[in-house]
Each structure stands twice: as C-alpha cells, then as structure tokens.
Homo-oligomer: A and B are copies of this chain.
Amino acid sequence: MIVLDYKDRRPIYEQIVERFQELILAKVLECGEKLPSVRNLAMELSINPNTIQRAYMELERQGFIYSIKGKGSFVADIQDMIDIRRREWEEHMEKLAQEAVHMGLDRKKFMELAEILYKKAEERK
C-alpha cells in the first residue's frame, strides 16, 4: 500500500504523508478504518518508527487521521474537508477566470491553456 521511493529527494515522512492523503481522499481507506500501527508499518517499510510517528503526527494535524493513545490511528471523517476544499478551489478558479477576462485572454486561448495545464498535471502525477 505504501511504497517508498529512495530516489525521491523529498524526505521519507513526507512521502508517507502524501501517500496516505491520496489513499484517504480516494476513499481507499475509509472513514474510521484503522491504520497500521506505528511499529508495524515501520517494520514493514524497514524504517525507523520515529519516521512513521512523524508522518502520522502530520496527518493528524492536517485532520486526515486521529490517534488514540493505546488504541491506534484511524481515518478521520473528511467529508467536510473535501467540501471546503472543493468550494475554495472553485472560488480560486472563478477569480482566475475573471483575471483572464481582464487580461484580454480570449475564451479559446483560455480553454487551450486550461487543457494543457490539466494534462501536464495529470502526467506529473
């Protein structure tokens, strides 16, 4: 489920955070589901438990999971978060569209650029 990329220059804990974010946002990990324990995941990935701990701390701070001492870490209910993100995204997009109109970017060019940038983002993923 979690695969580390040692060629990646980003720190390991960051890779773990991002991977779990994806799994949770894509609902592969469902609300309330238990994450592997800090120690188990550390063993499985052959890394130090501290690194997992740090990743889980960050995920909890961001509201993706919640941890209960003595019980484990669990996927949080992120529907509200998703809704808020979606709304903010649309607001930003609306603002950019307005700026495009002000800058004199016509609809055709605007749509072309949007498509190019979307494809670029898709490939990068």
Contact = CB atoms under 8 A, between A and B. Distances in A.
A92 B124 CA distance: 16
A10 interface: no
Contacts of A97: 114, 117-118, 120-121
A102 interface: yes
A85 interface: yes
A118 B100 contact: yes
Interface in A111-125: 111, 113-115, 117-122, 124-125
Given A110-B118, A118-B111, A99 B89 contact: yes
A104 B101 CA distance: 27
A102 to B, nearest CB: 6
